[in-house]
Amino acid sequence: MKILEVNNLSKDFGGLRAVDNLSLAMEQGEILGLIGPNGAGKSTAFNCIAGVYPPTEGTIRFCEERINNRKPWDLCKQGLARTFQIVKPFSSKTVLYNVMVGSFANTDRKSTARDKALDVLDFLHLADKRDLPAGSMTIADRKRLEIGRALATEPKLILLDEVMAGLRPTEVDEMVDIIRKVRDSGISVFLIEHIMRAIMALSDRLAVIHFGKKIAEGAPKDVAADENVIKAYLGDEYVVS
């Protein structure tokens, strides 16, 4: 089953076409990577899929159902969760509280929400930090918390927007392991990432956008060797290893 199908999606901000006639599809259980230069329209595409912005044109289907113009919280309840490029936890609240906010997508019971949040924190190796204020955590832990808030909603598809930005190499490796584990738990993963070695290692397929348009899509190795991709994004010095 196609978990996500984006057809001819465009998004205008005034005179600027941030996403331009983008079409993409994802199979259930897949990890799809999205790369492109800064300002290419990656986050805007995510925002349209997650219901933050109404598309200017095009259709978005999730689990084979048209979801144009649905609100983020409703989509979240249906199983479409996302993280934000800029992490915004409730800083003075505990880590556990922040994850419980996500759990309430599926339950009104506080005890059920708490149990789910504790499971998620275990999964992310954050259980020992559950009582700390979110604002006191390192960047790496905050990025994990952001994933935790999304996982607590019990998504079928998770959109990850640069969850490795600002991380040290060892932290990147840990995040790669976490994202694999997320997929192995049955969740489809659509991720935007600038760290090439991470996105190359993780993605089943990779799509590249430039000025809002898709310029390449395919197996990571093929995409990284594509002349247009090297010109637009990777730079001539990039060599596929």
Ligand X SMILES: Nc1ncnc2c1ncn2[C@@H]1O[C@H](COP(=O)(O)OP(=O)(O)O)[C@@H](O)[C@H]1O
Q: For Mg ion, which residue of 43, 83, 153, 203 counts as binding (CB under 5 A)?
A: 43
Does 83 engage in binding with ligand X (CB under 6 A)? no
Does 42 engage in binding with ligand X (CB under 6 A)? yes
Q: Which does 44 bind (CB under 5 to 8 A by kind): Mg ion, ligand X, none?
A: ligand X
CB count within 10 Å of CB 195 equals 19
Q: For ligand X, which residue of 10, 44, 83, 203 counts as binding (CB under 6 A)?
A: 44
We find the least distance from the C-beta atom of residue 14 to ligand X, in angstroms, to be: 7
Of 227, 205, 233, 232, nearest to 218 (Cα)?
205
Q: What is the C-alpha separation between 60 and 191, in angstroms, rounded? A: 17
105's CB contacts (< 8 A; 6+ apart) are: 73, 76, 77, 152, 153, 154
Q: For ligand X, which residue of 2, 13, 69, 197 counts as binding (CB under 6 A)?
A: 13
Which of the ranges 40-48, 89-97, 142-150, 233-241 carries the binding residues for ligand X, by CB under 6 A?
A: 40-48
Q: For ligand X, which residue of 4, 6, 18, 187 counts as binding (CB under 6 A)?
A: 18
∠ CA 125-126-127, rounded to 5° = 100
DSSP-based three-state secondary structure for 49: helix
Q: Which is nearer to Mg ion, 43 or 78 (CB)?
A: 43
Per DSSP, 211 falls in state T
Which of the ranges 11-19, 63-71, 84-92, 131-139 carries the binding residues for Mg ion, by CB under 5 A?
A: 84-92
We find the least distance from the C-beta atom of residue 146 to Mg ion, in angstroms, to be: 14
Q: For ligand X, which residue of 15, 38, 131, 186 counts as binding (CB under 6 A)?
A: 38
Helix (H) or strand (E) holding 74: helix 72-78
For residue 213, what are its two tokens?
């348009």
Q: Which is nearer to ligand X, 4 or 18 (CB)?
A: 18
Q: How many helices (H) and strands (E) does the chain have?
A: 9, 10
Per DSSP, 133 falls in state B
Binding footprint of Mg ion on the chain (CB under 5 A):
42-43, 85
By CB under 6 A, name the binding residues for ligand X. Answer: 13, 16, 18, 36, 38-44
